[in-house]
Amino acid sequence: MVGLGRNIMRLHNKRTLIIGGTSGIGLATARRFAAEGACVVVAGLDRGDVGDLHFLTCDARDANQMDALLAQTIQHLGGLDILFHVAGISGRKHGDGPLHECTDSGWDATLDANLKSVFLTNGAAIRQFLAQGTGGVILNMASVLAISPVPTFFDTAAYTASKGGVIALSRYAAARYAKDKIRVNVLAPGLIDTPMSARAVNDPTIRAYLDAKQPLGPGPGTPDDCANAAVFLCGDEARFITGVVLPVDGGWCVSEG
């Protein structure tokens, strides 16, 4: 019990906004952050299963809604220390697919949800951090597909491009704002068992492929695998780390499959 005590409350009193924290990785992280002592606001299109966590409605693709969300968050928390942007979509139902088949509407919907939203949330958070003058932490969600694509099973041009854009934008911001003590890092998960990945998770062929592609399994990762990484990157233990893209992928990037 004494040993465990050293690891709790790693985010004590950290004022945290999680965009897309109502299911999957975002919800697991919100709960974990709260358990680690953070003061958490969860934002999303609908409440989901957030329980006692403080919830605010917001469409992060809308600049006006994002500005309103930040104002409400600051009013509730008294400031901001951490932004974790998880929200995004797969894009398939909008027309995303192989580059030669991806529709204009699929491209636009996916880039709006996965990249424009990050532009808006990150810009709002950085303005707040600069106004506070105390630094801050941003963690963005990309995908292992942006650095290690597997078009045989995940043949979506817009999704892959949007997540690559998240990485590029995050590394730019890390370089630009390090002097202001603002850290910006990225998680790049492999296949994680979430509602959004149900198609792949429940596909027997993909599950068999994972035995070799994500050998640290078995099977897909869990939202808690990402939450554990988020706690580290957002906490003071990572105070000297910025511009990092951390694959949480069970060995995906280093395995042939």
Contact (CB, 8 A) for 223 and 24? yes
d(CA 127, CA 169): 16
Cis peptide bond upstream of 149, omega within 30:
no
DSSP β-ladder status, 54-57 and 182-189:
unpaired
Question: Is residue 159 flagged as an active site residue?
Answer: yes
Question: Which tokens is 244 given?
Answer: 């990092």
Question: 22-58 b/e with 16+ CB inside 10 Å = b?
Answer: bbbbbbbbbbbbbebebbbbbbbeeebebeebbbbeb
Catalytic residue chosen out of the listed positions 159, 172, 177, 209: 159
Residue ranges with strand state E in the chain: 15-19, 39-44, 54-57, 82-85, 136-141, 182-189, 245-248
Residue 61 Cα distances to 9, 67, 121, 212, angstroms: 32, 11, 9, 37
d(CA 161, CA 40): 30
Helices and strands, counts by H and E, the chain: 9, 7
Residues catalogued as catalytic: 159
